[in-house]
Amino acid sequence: MQLAEKMSRLGTETAFEVLQRAEFLRSTGKSIINLGIGQPDFKSPDHVVEAAVKALRDGHHGYTPAPGIPALREAVAADILKWRNVQVDPEHVLVVPGGKVTMFFAILMFGEPGAEILYPNPGFPIYESAINFTGAKAVPIPLLEELDFSFSAKGALELMTEKTRLVIVNSPANPTGGAVPKSEMDEFIRGLADFPEAAIMSDEIYSRICYGDQDHVSLLSYPEIRDRLILLDGWSKTYAMTGWRLGYSVWPASLIEHATRLAINCHSCVNAAAQHAAIAALEGPQDSVDHMVRTFDERREIIVRGLNDLPGLSCRDPGGAFYVFPNITECGQSAREIQNHWLEDLGVATVAGTSFGSYGEGYIRFSYAASTEEIEEALERIGNSLG
């Protein structure tokens, strides 16, 4: 068999490999603390589960319209108005099976040899993988520790050329927890006026998980880029629904038909019962979200303090998401060596910063989607090994 050449350019998400290895080690009887996985350690809210069960019992077993059932697209538009204070047309909403699908579609739509796509590095690994797959040039926007893993608007704009077709922004971010302040975002958006042909994809999957005085800055709130902005969000993180495979995007008028066509070619529509559950999640009580974010916030303080107390590690305070990204350069080993050592010898699963791009060398991602006891035990194991 001869595979298409582009298959050799497809990357992967190492977090899944770490998870597999951690599960294997656990199955051999080893005590494993999993701080590697990027999903909330909460159950989906009961009323959401009930809505899915009811939908199945009520006979919602068939295909739905490809972009999503109308009531859900309207619920998404209402939710955007509620949380982002921005009006969007439900006709521009596309319901997709997970946040990843939006990024894949956006990158497929703009990527081809000769095109350039800017993406955050360290960043969610699928951006770079999918860009390379299309044959476009992947241009990293470095996210810098000295800026609390925000980006420099000036630095990002300097990377843009007349070949830039798409710019990907992710705030709050995976793997760093960094959030771009409004002033920096304002400057970036002002500069985009010089590149009117470039589309923007804003990955706001962690929009509801922000801490302290860090308010979420949605790119939807900049009217000057609305005609070329793709918004990525979904239910996975906010409602602890990663396994349901539910996401949504908002596309500009000129792109929604193209996106819908990709959906029809790819998956036809999202699981009907899951779409009913998605309405319940958006319209029902939000106390489970509030509880989850409060709990993450408490753990964030514990893990940041704990990591900074360890010799050789230093850790910034993240503005959002549920990750910390400490600097481990003083430990004297590469990020991958540290990841393997901590998993194999200490039973602590984390993910090497290099799994998120070349600018991740010298860092390790911890997910604090784990109990306080587990976080404290992991810190103790690492502390003992560092002497």
Site for ligand PLP in 27-86 (CB under 6 A): 38
Residue 121 phi, psi dihedral angles, 5° rounding: -145, 115
By beta-carbon proximity to ligand PLP, the closer residue of 176 and 331 is: 176
Site map for ligand PLP, 182-211, x if CB under 6 A?
---------------------x-x------
Of the residues 174, 176, 288, 354, which one makes contact with ligand PLP according to CB under 6 A: 174
Binding to ligand PLP by residue 170, rule CB under 6 A? yes
Tokens representing residue 187 in the block: 């400057």
Tokens representing residue 104 in the block: 């894949």
Number of residues that bind ligand PLP (CB under 6 A): 13
CB 196 within 8 Å of CB 377: no
Binding to ligand PLP by residue 122, rule CB under 6 A? no
Binding to ligand PLP by residue 120, rule CB under 6 A? no
CA distance 238 to 325: 21
Radius of gyration of the chain (CA): 21
Of the residues 132, 134, 242, 295, which one makes contact with ligand PLP according to CB under 6 A: 242
Binding to ligand PLP by residue 247, rule CB under 6 A? yes
CB 261 within 8 Å of CB 105: no
Stretch that binds ligand PLP, among 81-89, 234-242, 272-280, 281-289 (CB under 6 A): 234-242
DSSP strand E in the chain: where? 33-34, 93-96, 116-121, 137-142, 164-170, 199-203, 229-234, 247-250, 323-324, 348-349, 351-352, 364-367
Site map for ligand PLP, 351-380, x if CB under 6 A?
------------------------------
CB of 98 to ligand PLP, least distance (A): 3
CB 317 within 8 Å of CB 303: no
* Contact footprint for ligand PLP (CB under 6 A): 38, 98-100, 124, 170, 174, 203, 205, 234, 236, 242, 247
